[in-house]
Structure 1
Amino acid sequence: MEALLHFIYWDSVCDMERIAGWDAKCASTLMAQHLLAATDRYALDRLKVLCEVKLCEDVAINTVATTLALAEQHHCFHLKSVCLKFVALPQNLRAVVQSEGFKYLKVSCPSLLKELLQYVAGKGENSAVSSADTNDALDGSDANGRRVKPQI
């Protein structure tokens, strides 16, 4: 709340690590995630952009899944794209899937898992902006929802 009030009164983002009381990048990422959620509630578009920039800079294995869920929920398309690219890297994918944040992502945004799979499979360079453009369905159906028998 202190960071939110600081922005409202001073039109700047305060030192998030000082407010959190921790001297770590994780603390400022967590604070930016909470502020991002508050920006929609209080219609603070400029703060939303600043939080999005901060979260794009600090993408990490232990925070990316939660950040991805927040990006989806708060319509932060650039942040979502950055998170998808980070998760799609082979050296990151396994660790992210095993994280606590990924469990939260599965519960809070199950539809995002399909988009993540498409992105990891290389089918969705633009999937972060619009998943409606893809005609490939992962459940064995075509674009009209009909079941399609695979050719052998």
Structure 2
Amino acid sequence: MREKTAPSVRIHDNLLPPHVVDENDRIAMTQHLLVAADRYHLQRLKSICEEKLRRHINPTTVATTLELAHRHGCHTLKDACYDFLAPPIGNLKAILKSKGFEQLIIDYPSVVVELLARVAPSPR
């Protein structure tokens, strides 16, 4: 195969924006890069993407990040999302009505059940 001798390999099935404008674009690009890293088993790159996404969890990104972490087996990133949503930080109410959270309920109800089990106060 040509890949063994070529200095680089072009992958045509994952398009990224030609330039990065703002932080939201950087996050979106990192999400796409994590997907590609997982697909091609580039564990070091996947770990770097996870760490970048972990540092940028906020009420706007948490539902999408949680879904991405679940789909691609990013346990540390998934735990970071749960920590962000759990008391004492308690950002769960902030995302309950977001489109990302609605999609998470539809696509991955088991993640929502796991989330609620982790963030709900324990019975006394």
Q: Which residue of 1 aligns with 2:42?
A: 44
Q: Which residue of 1 aligns with 2:3?
A: none
1:83-119 deviations in whole A, cap 9, x for unaligned? 0011124652111111111122112211011101111
Looking at structure 1, the residues matched to 119 and 97 of structure 2 have their Cα atoms a distance apart, in angstroms, of: 16
Structure-2 change in CA distance of 1:121 and 1:98 (3 Å): same
Structure 1: any 5+ residue segments left out of the alignment? 1-7, 10-17, 124-152
Identity percentage over the alignment? 44
Deviating above 4 A after TM superposition, structure 1's stretches of 4 or more consecutive aligned residues are none
- Tell me the matched-pair count: 107
**TM-score calculated relative to the size of structure 1:** 0.63
Unaligned runs of 5+ in 2: 1-6, 9-16
Larger radius of gyration: 1
Correspondences of 1:59-74 after superposition (within 5 Å): 59-74=57-72
Q: 1:78 to 1:105 in 2, by over 3 A?
A: same
Coordinate RMSD, CA, aligned:
2.1
- State how far apart, in whole Å, the 2-side matches of 1:26 and 1:61 are: 13
Q: Displacement, 1:26?
A: 1.8
SS at the partner of 1:60? coil
